[in-house]
Amino acid sequence: MTPDDAVGDEGPREGPEGPGHETPPEGEREESELRMELERLREELVALKQERMRLAGAVERLLRHLIGVSETVERVAGLYELSEDANARALSEGLRMVSSAIERALREEGVEVIGFVGSRFDPALHEAVGFVESEEHEEGTVVSVVEKGFAYAGKVLRPAKVLVAKRPQPEGAGEAGRVT
């Protein structure tokens, strides 16, 4: 048996580099190509995840800005509403319509208002800006919302600023109903 007999009927496999450089068998070449494709897909997946995170952050920032714009428009409308001038009151009504349209668009996109009177204080959803002594409310209950909070896709965009009930001080220790 000669060395040529061991190679088979096809003769020696020569690679593109010429004689003496063997081409890997077909199965090895396919495996190598599949490994390269898998690595390319992994890199693409990492890039897509990074882009998704960047876009999610941009969406959250945009929603926070729109919430702020809506609240500013509402505050300005409230100022014009106090005027005795009919034009100023008409402007106030128009501004409230703009604010309502922004709020409606936010709701339609999944933004939710969080923090309601009567709910249990939750530091993940609320920011306590004060406490109110109350016999009517259970301790730790939200008794007033100073500023609405908002959430989007299960994430708090802005916590609600609230006043929270606490037990009244014993007689002579302080004034009942006092905000602290």
CA-to-CA separations, 168 to 68, 115, 117, 120, 155, in angstroms, rounded: 36, 23, 19, 18, 34
CA 111 to CA 38: how far, in whole Å?
A: 38
- The predicted model scores a pTM of 0.69
In angstroms, what is the C-alpha Rg of the chain? 34
pLDDT value of residue 167: 92
Q: Does domain 112-180 have CATH number 1.20.1560.10?
A: no
3-state secondary structure of 121: coil
pLDDT value of residue 54: 96
Q: Which residues pair with 114 in a beta bridge?
A: 149
pLDDT value of residue 169: 84
Q: Which residues pair with 127 in a beta bridge?
A: 161
How far is Cα of residue 143 from the mean position of the Cα atoms in its chain?
27
The per-residue DSSP string of 53-96 comes to HHHHHHHHHHHHHHHHHHHHHHHHHHHHHT-S-HHHHHHHHHHH
Report residues of the chain scoring pLDDT below 70: 1-24, 172-180
pLDDT value of residue 171: 76
Residue 136, number of CB atoms within 10 A of its CB = 7
CA 15 to CA 154: how far, in whole Å?
A: 58
pLDDT value of residue 2: 52
